[in-house]
Amino acid sequence: MDNNNLIQIENVKRVYKVGETEVHALRGISCNIKKGGIVAIMGPSGSGKSTLMNIIGCLDKPSSGKYLLEGEEVSTFDKNKLALVRNKRIGFVFQSFNLLARTTALENTELPLVYSDVPRKKAKDMAIKALALVGLEGRELHKTNQLSGGEMQRVAIARALVNNPSLLLADEPTGNLDTKTGIEIMDIFKKLNREQNITIILVTHAQEVAVISNRRIFIRDGLIEREERE
Partner 1 sequence: MALGRNKMRSFLTALGIIIGVGAVIAMVSIGQGAKAAVEDRFTSMGTNLLTVRSGSRSYGGLHGGAGSSQNLTEADAEAIEEAEAVEYMSPQISTRTQVKYGNKNWNTSIQGVGAAYPMIRNWEMDIGNFFDDNMVRAGLKVAVLGSEVNQNLFEGADPIGQIIRINRVPFSVVGVLKTKGEAGGWGSHDDQIVVPYTSAQRLTGRRARLNSIEISAFTGRTQEAQAQIEEIMRIRHKIAPGAEDDFSVRDMTEIAEAAGESTKILTILLAGIASVSLLVGGIGIMNIMLVSVTERIREIGIRMSVGAKERDILLQFLTEAVVLSIFGGLLGILVGIASSKLISNLAGWSTLISMGSIILAFVFSGSVGVFFGFYPARKASKLDPIEALRYE
Site of interaction with partner 1 (CB under 8 A): 54, 57, 59-60, 79-80, 83-84, 86-88, 92, 94, 98-102, 111-112, 115-116, 159
Map residue 14 onto helix, strand or coil.
strand
CB of 50 to partner 1, least distance (A): 9
* Cα 158 to Cα 6, 31, 58, 65, 82, distances in angstroms: 21, 28, 20, 32, 21
CB of 85 to partner 1, least distance (A): 8
Rounded-to-10 torsion of CA 101, 114, 71, 205: 10
CB of 183 to partner 1, least distance (A): 26
**Residue closer to partner 1, measured from CB, 78 or 230:** 78
CB of 180 to partner 1, least distance (A): 27
Nearest to 165 by CA among 28, 6, 1, 47: 6
**Residue closer to partner 1, measured from CB, 75 or 87:** 87
CB 159 within 8 A of CB 112: yes
Q: How far is Cα 189 from Cα 208, in angstroms, rounded to an integer? A: 12
The C-alpha R_g of the chain, in whole angstroms, comes to 17
CB of 80 to partner 1, least distance (A): 5
Q: How far is Cα 213 from Cα 116, in angstroms, rounded to an integer? A: 31
CB of 46 to partner 1, least distance (A): 15
Q: How far is Cα 63 from Cα 23, in angstroms, rounded to an integer? A: 12
Sign of dihedral through CA atoms 133, 105, 164, 205? negative
